[in-house]
Amino acid sequence: MTKKEKVLYIQDSLEKLYPKTPIPLNHDSIFTLLVAVVLSAQCTDARVNTITPKLFKRANTAKLMSEMSIEEIAEIIRPCGLTPMKSKGLKGLSEIICDDHQGKVPNSFEALEALPSVGHKTASVVMSQGFGHPAFPVDTHIHRLMKRWGLTSGKNVKQTEKDAKRLFPIENWNKLHLQIIFYGRSHSPARGWKPEIDFITSIVNPIAFRK
């Protein structure tokens, strides 16, 4: 298959499997989405969703969270891991949002990535799912599948994102990155990978199973 044929097959297959793509992280505002994405670093979405109700009951705006101490935040988010970094980051980004952005999450990559604990992937999720700006956040699932499908060299996430944006139509990015994540979790895991379950890889790049 050519890369163009692969892309069409992948998009058609994922659309049939996942016509709807709810955001896995529970939130009710762009700020709570930002917080949830920060907490999801090296932590499952399911675990984050068990922690955020208590956190958001205490502080669901930048102003309220900026008024919390780092220790208060840490006590609540501890089950998510990386507690010192995340608690300090949430406190810091909340203060900056209040001081520099009138209490509202900024809607640019540059401003988001300038916030503590916010890297390019986190900014991409907020821009795509919060503001509807075309973006292609690359997590471990997308990085793994793009390589398995023979669509990237897989050397680093920066290259994977560049290749994904080059191959897939911009109007599909925001939905497609979630569809790939859902597929990676259910059909193409890092461990226990089987060709009979991962039907997309079996079609677009069967040689991947022999590597």
Nearest to 117 by CA among 154, 150, 87: 87
Q: Which of residues 209 and 169 earns the better pLDDT score?
A: 169
Residue of 121, 147, 163, 175 marked catalytic: 121
Indicate if 139 belongs to the active site: yes
Question: Residue 63 belongs to a domain with what CATH number?
Answer: 1.10.340.30
pLDDT interval class at 24 (50, 70, 90): very high
Q: What is the pTM of this model?
A: 0.94
Residue 97 lies in domain? 30-130
Q: Are residues 34 and 126 in the same domain?
A: yes
Chain centroid to Cα 126, Å, comes to 9
Maximum alpha-carbon separation in the chain = 56
- Rounded-to-10 torsion of CA 142, 97, 116, 130: 0
Q: What is the CATH number of the domain that holds 174?
A: 1.10.1670.10
- Whether 39 and 113 map to the same domain: the answer is yes
- Each residue's pLDDT tens digit, 121-168: 999 999 999 999 999 999 999 999 999 999 998 789 999 999 999 999
* 181: nearest Cα among 169, 193, 170, 189: 189
According to the model, what pLDDT value does residue 211 have? Answer: 67
DSSP letters of 14-26? HHHH-S----SS-
Same domain, 141 and 103: no
Considering the domain architecture, whether residues 100 and 155 belong to the same structural domain is answered as no
- 77 with 144, same domain: the answer is no
* Torsion angle in degrees (nearest 10) through CA of 195, 198, 203, 204: -120
Taking the CB of residue 61, how many other CB atoms lie within 10 A of it?
17
At position 128, the amino acid (one-letter code) is S
Q: Tell me, what's the pLDDT at 154?
A: 76
Do residues 96 and 43 both lie within one domain? yes
CA–CA dist 199, 182 (Å, integer):
14
- Report the number of distinct structural domains present in the chain: 2
Taking only the tens place, the pLDDT of each residue in 29-87 is 999 999 999 999 999 999 999 999 999 999 999 999 999 999 999 999 999 999 999 99
Q: Are residues 141 and 107 in the same domain?
A: no
Is the same domain home to 88 and 140? no
Residue 10 burial by CB count (10 A; 0-12/13-18/19+): exposed, middle or buried? buried
| 163 included as an active-site residue | no
| pLDDT at residue 199 is higher than 80 | yes
Q: Choosing from 88, 139, 162, 165, which is the catalytic residue?
A: 139
How many CA atoms does the CB half-sphere of 191 hold within 13 Å?
0
Task: Look up tokens 């597929």; give the residue.
Answer: 183
CB-based contact 64:43 (threshold 8 Å): no
Q: Say whether both 178 and 154 belong to one domain.
A: yes
Amino acid 11: pLDDT? 98
Structural domain ending residue among the three candidates 81, 103, 130: 130
pLDDT of the residue at 103: 97
